[in-house]
Amino acid sequence: MSPSISTLGERELIARLQQRVSPPPAHVRIGIGDDAAVIAPARNMDDVVTTDSLVEGVHFRRDWSTAEAIGHKALAVNLSDLAAMGATPRASLLSLALPADFPLADFDALLDGYLALSAASGAVLVGGNLTRSPGPLIVDVTALGSVGHRHVLTRTGARKGDELYVTGTIGAAAAGLAMLQAGRDRERADDAARSCLERYERPEPRLRCGRIVGRTRAASAAIDLSDGFSDAAWRLAEGGNVGLVVDAAALPVAAGARAWAREASQDAVDFAMGGGEDYEIAFAVPARRRSRFRAAVRRCSGLTVTRVGVFGGAAGVWLERDGAKAPLPRAGFAHF
Amino acid sequence: MSPSISTLGERELIARLQQRVSPPPAHVRIGIGDDAAVIAPARNMDDVVTTDSLVEGVHFRRDWSTAEAIGHKALAVNLSDLAAMGATPRASLLSLALPADFPLADFDALLDGYLALSAASGAVLVGGNLTRSPGPLIVDVTALGSVGHRHVLTRTGARKGDELYVTGTIGAAAAGLAMLQAGRDRERADDAARSCLERYERPEPRLRCGRIVGRTRAASAAIDLSDGFSDAAWRLAEGGNVGLVVDAAALPVAAGARAWAREASQDAVDFAMGGGEDYEIAFAVPARRRSRFRAAVRRCSGLTVTRVGVFGGAAGVWLERDGAKAPLPRAGFAHF
Span A7-25, pLDDT tens digits: 888 888 999 999 999 999 9
Span B296-329, pLDDT tens digits: 999 998 999 999 999 999 999 999 999 999 999 9
Q: Is the pLDDT at A195 greater than 60, yes or no? A: yes
The pLDDT confidence band at residue A336, using thresholds 50, 70 and 90, is low
Q: How many percent of chain A have pLDDT more than 90? A: 91
Per-residue pLDDT, averaged over A212-231, amounts to 97
Q: Is the pLDDT at A319 greater than 80, yes or no? A: yes
What are φ and ψ of residue B313, in 5° steps? 80, -160
Do residue B128 and residue A51 have CB atoms under 8 angstroms apart?
Answer: yes
> Which residues on chain B are in Cβ contact (under 8 Å) with A93?
49-51, 142
End-to-end CA distance of chain A: 35
The pLDDT confidence band at residue A92, using thresholds 50, 70 and 90, is very high
Q: Is the pLDDT at A320 greater than 90, yes or no? A: yes
> What is the predicted pLDDT for the residue at A10?
84
Among the partner-chain residues A134, A149, A334, the one whose CB lies closest to the CB of B135 is A134
Q: Is the pLDDT at A333 greater than 60, yes or no? A: no
Rounded distance between C-alpha atoms, residue A93 and residue A52, angstroms: 11
The pLDDT confidence band at residue A334, using thresholds 50, 70 and 90, is low
Q: Does B147 touch chain A (CB under 8 A)?
A: yes
Q: Are B112 and B68 in contact (CB under 8 A)?
A: yes
> What is the predicted pLDDT for the residue at B330?
84
Rounded distance between C-alpha atoms, residue A279 and residue A206, angstroms: 8
Per-residue pLDDT, averaged over B179-197, amounts to 92
Per-residue pLDDT, averaged over A51-74, amounts to 96
> What is the predicted pLDDT for the residue at A279?
96
Q: Is the pLDDT at B333 greater than 60, yes or no? A: no
Do residue B129 and residue A36 have CB atoms under 8 angstroms apart?
Answer: no
Span A227-249, pLDDT tens digits: 999 999 999 999 999 999 999 99
Cα–Cα distances in Å, from A316 out to A240, B116, B120, B174? 11, 37, 40, 56
| Average pLDDT of chain A to the nearest whole number | 95
Q: Are B171 and B179 in contact (CB under 8 A)?
A: no
Span B154-170, pLDDT tens digits: 999 999 999 999 999 99
The pLDDT confidence band at residue A332, using thresholds 50, 70 and 90, is low
Q: B272-301: string of b/e by CB count within 10 Å (b at 16+)?
A: bbbbbbbbbbbbbbbeebeebbeebbeebe
Span A288-308, pLDDT tens digits: 999 999 999 999 989 999 999
Closest to A39 measured CA to CA, from A190, A188, A144 = A144
Q: Does B104 touch chain A (CB under 8 A)?
A: no
> What is the predicted pLDDT for the residue at A295?
96
Q: Does B48 touch chain A (CB under 8 A)?
A: yes
Closest to A313 measured CA to CA, from A327, A297, A300 = A327
Q: Are B152 and B214 in contact (CB under 8 A)?
A: yes
Do residue B335 and residue A224 have CB atoms under 8 angstroms apart?
Answer: no
> What is the predicted pLDDT for the residue at B28?
98
Span A133-158, pLDDT tens digits: 999 999 999 999 999 999 999 999 99
What residues contact B66, with CB distance under 8 A and at least 6 apart? B109, B113, B201
Query: Residue B255, Cα to own-chain centre: how many angstroms?
Result: 20
What residues contact B183, with CB distance under 8 A and at least 6 apart? none
Residue A86: how many CB atoms within 10 A of its CB? 29
Per-residue pLDDT, averaged over A45-60, amounts to 97
Q: Are B115 and B17 in contact (CB under 8 A)?
A: no
Q: B162-199: string of b/e by CB count within 10 Å (b at 16+)?
A: bbbbbbbbbbbbbbbbbbbeeebeeeebeebbebbbbb
Per-residue pLDDT, averaged over B188-217, amounts to 96
Q: How many percent of chain B have pLDDT more than 90? A: 91
3-state SS class at A335:
coil
CA atoms within 13 A on the CB side of A108: 11
Span B269-281, pLDDT tens digits: 999 999 999 999 9
Q: How far is B328 from chain A (nearest CA, A)?
A: 18
Q: Are A53 and A96 in contact (CB under 8 A)?
A: no
Q: Does B281 touch chain A (CB under 8 A)?
A: no
| Phi-psi sector, A265: left (phi>0), alpha (psi -120 to 50), beta | left
Better-scored residue on pLDDT, B218 or A12: B218
Rounded distance between C-alpha atoms, residue B145 and residue A159, angstroms: 36
> What is the predicted pLDDT for the residue at B307?
98
Q: B73-94: string of b/e by CB count within 10 Å (b at 16+)?
A: bbbbbbbbbbbbbbbbbbbbbb
